[in-house]
Structure 1
C-alpha cells in the first residue's frame, strides 16, 4: 500500500484550517453557554423562521407600547399632582376669603390679595409642568409651554380692568378676557387636546385635559380676581374691594365640584393606562419565555462540548509545536 504524505506547506495550511474551525466552534459554544440560546438560529428552528419572526415582531410592538404607556402614565400622574395642587390652593384661598365676610379690614384684604397672587402664579407654574421634554398641559403642541408667564397675564389683565369702577365691572372684564381673545392669544400657548392613544391591542386612552379646559379657566378667573386686589391697577373703594374678594371666593368654591370631576376623569384614564401596562407586561413576559423555549439549548451539554473543543485546541497547539521542531536528522 502506497503511503500518502503531506508537504510542509500543505500541512501548515491544514493545521491552520483546523485551528480556525475549532476556534469558531469554541466561540459559538461560548455564546450558547452564556446566553442559553442557540448560536445558529436557522439550524435550531430547522430552517423555519416564521414562528421566530412572529414572536420578534410582537416583542417589538409590545416594547414600543411599553414605552408609550410608561410615558403616558408619568404624564397622567404629573397632571394629577398639578391639578391637586391647584385645587388645594384654590380651596384654601376660597375658605379664607369667605371667612372674611364683607367687613374685612384693608390690611386683611391686601393680605388676601397677596395670597391670591401667589396662588395664581403657582397655578400657572403647575400648568407649565413638563415631563421629560413635553409640556403636559399643552395638548398637541407639547414642545411649547402651555401658558405664558404669570406676570405677562396679570399685566394684560391690568389693562383689561383699568376702566372698571365696581367689583362687578372688574369681574365682567376678567371673565371676558379669559373667555375671549385675551386668554387665547396672551394666556394659553398650547394646542388642541391630544387624540386617543393605543395602550393595548384593543385598548385606548385619551387625556384631553389642557390648560385651555373650561374648568381650569374658571379656576384661574377666581385666582386672578383675588390677585387684582394687590395689583394697584384697580382703585375701588374698601366696600368694592371686599365685594371683589367675595366674588373671587364664590367663583373658586362654585368651581370646586368641576375640579373634582376633572381629576376623577383623569383618574379613570390613569386606571386604563395602568391596566393596559400590566396586560402588556404579562404578554411581553410570555413571548420572551416562548422565544427562549424556541431557541433554548441544554447549557450542560453546551458546556461539555465547549470543554471538549478547548481540549482539542490545546491538543492541536501541542501537535503543531512538535511538528514545527522536526528536522531531517530526527526524521531519518
Structure 2
C-alpha cells in the first residue's frame, strides 16, 4: 500500500527533516552568540569572504611580528643594560690607570684592578638570556669570549706567544725586567694591537660572529637587533686589561710601567667612546622596534575592525534568533508528538 502525501507518516517525516535543519542551525546560532562572529562566513559573505579570509591571515602574520618584536625588544634592553655595565667597568679602570700614570697608585693595586676588570668584561660579554648569548652575533648558542685567566685558555696562550716571539724570552725570564719603555711601546703598537684588532682576535679570544641578528620588525622593514663581542671597543678593553694584568707580573722599571699605563689609558679612553657608539646604535634599534610595534598594533586593530564589520554579529540579534529557534524546535517537538498520537483506532 502506498502512503499518500497527506498521510500522518508523510507529515511526520517532513517534521523530522525540518527538525534536523533547525538543529544544525541551532549549533550555528549558539556559536554566533558565543563568538559574536558568523558561524559560516563563506556561506554568509559570498564573494566578500575571500577578502575577510585574507585580512585574517594578515592579522595572524602581524601578531607573529608582535611576538618576534617582543623578543627583539627584550634582547636589546638586556644588551643595553650589559653595555652600561661594560661602560662602568671601563670608566672605573680608566680612573685607576689615570692615577697610575700620575704615579699615585701602587703596581699591585693597578694589576688587581686590571684583573678584576678583565674578569668583569668577560662575564658581561658572555651574558646569556633565555639560552642565547647577547654578544655572540648570530652564533647565539656559543659563548662569545674565552676566559683569559682560565687554565689552558687559548687567549692566554696566544698572548704568551706574542711576548715570546717579540722578545725572544717568556714573561718569567729574568731578562724581562730589563725591557725598556721604547721596547714596551714597540711591542704594544706592532704586535699586540695588530693581533687584537685583526683576525687573531677570533682565532683565540672570540667565538662570536661578526654578523649580527637581523629581525623583521614590520612586513617590509628589518632592523639589527643584536651586537657582537668583536666590536673595536670590546677588543681594546680586552687588550688593555690583559696586557696590564699580565705584564705587571714582571718587575718592570718605573719608566716602562708608565709607558704601559699610558698605552692602556689611551686604549680604554678610546674604548669608552667606541662602546658609547654601540650603545647609541642599540638605542636607535630599540626605538625602531618600539615604533614598529606601535604601527603593527595599530594595523592589527584596524584590520580587526574591518573583519569584525564583515564577520561580526549583533549579540542581541543573535540571542533573539537563538531564542526564536529554540521556540520553533520546542513547537516542532510538540507537533511531532501530537501527530504520532493520531490513529484510526480512536475513531472506530
TM bin (shorter chain): 0.7 to 0.9
CA contact (8 A) 1:137 1:211 kept: yes
Where 1:47 maps in the other structure, the secondary structure is: helix
Q: Which residue of 2 aligns with 1:275?
A: 291
Alpha-carbon deviation of 1:86? 0.6
User: In the alignment, which of 5, 8, 17 is matched to residue 6 of structure 1?
Assistant: 8
Q: Within the alignment, does 1:191 sit opposite 2:195 as a pair?
A: no
CA contact (8 A) 1:193 1:208 kept: no
- 1:87-126 aligned at under 5 Å gives the runs 87-104=87-104, 108-126=106-124
Compared CA separation, residues 331 and 211, structure 1 to 2 (3 A): farther
**Whole-Å separation in 1 of the counterparts to 2:145 and 2:17:** 71
Q: Which residue of 1 aligns with 2:243?
A: 225
Q: Which residue of 1 aligns with 2:264?
A: 248
Unmatched 5+ stretches in structure 1: none
Where 1:255 maps in the other structure, the secondary structure is: helix
After alignment, is 316-325 or 74-83 more displaced? 316-325
After alignment, is 236-245 or 206-215 more displaced? 236-245
Compared CA separation, residues 90 and 3, structure 1 to 2 (3 A): closer
CA contact (8 A) 1:222 1:248 kept: yes
Q: Within the alignment, does 1:50 sit opposite 2:50 as a pair?
A: yes
Q: Which residue of 2 aligns with 1:23?
A: 23
Please give the per-residue CA displacement for 1:271-318, whole angstroms capped at 9, x wherever unaligned.
Answer: 222222211111111111111111111211110111222333444555
Where 1:45 maps in the other structure, the secondary structure is: helix
Compared CA separation, residues 5 and 220, structure 1 to 2 (3 A): same
**Whole-Å separation in 2 of the counterparts to 1:22 and 1:268:** 60
After alignment, is 87-96 or 148-157 more displaced? 148-157
Q: Which residue of 1 aligns with 2:37?
A: 37
CA contact (8 A) 1:139 1:193 kept: yes
TM-score, L = length of structure 2: 0.79
**Whole-Å separation in 2 of the counterparts to 1:251 and 1:132:** 33
**Whole-Å separation in 1 of the counterparts to 2:201 and 2:313:** 65
Compared CA separation, residues 120 and 305, structure 1 to 2 (3 A): same
After alignment, is 69-78 or 299-308 more displaced? 69-78
Say what the alpha-carbon RMSD is for the aligned residues.
3.3
Q: Within the alignment, does 1:205 sit opposite 2:205 as a pair?
A: no
CA contact (8 A) 1:229 1:245 kept: no
Compared CA separation, residues 130 and 17, structure 1 to 2 (3 A): farther
**Whole-Å separation in 2 of the counterparts to 1:154 and 1:193:** 22
Compared CA separation, residues 323 and 242, structure 1 to 2 (3 A): farther
User: In the alignment, which of 287, 291, 308 is matched to residue 307 of structure 2?
Assistant: 291
Where 2:8 maps in the other structure, the secondary structure is: coil
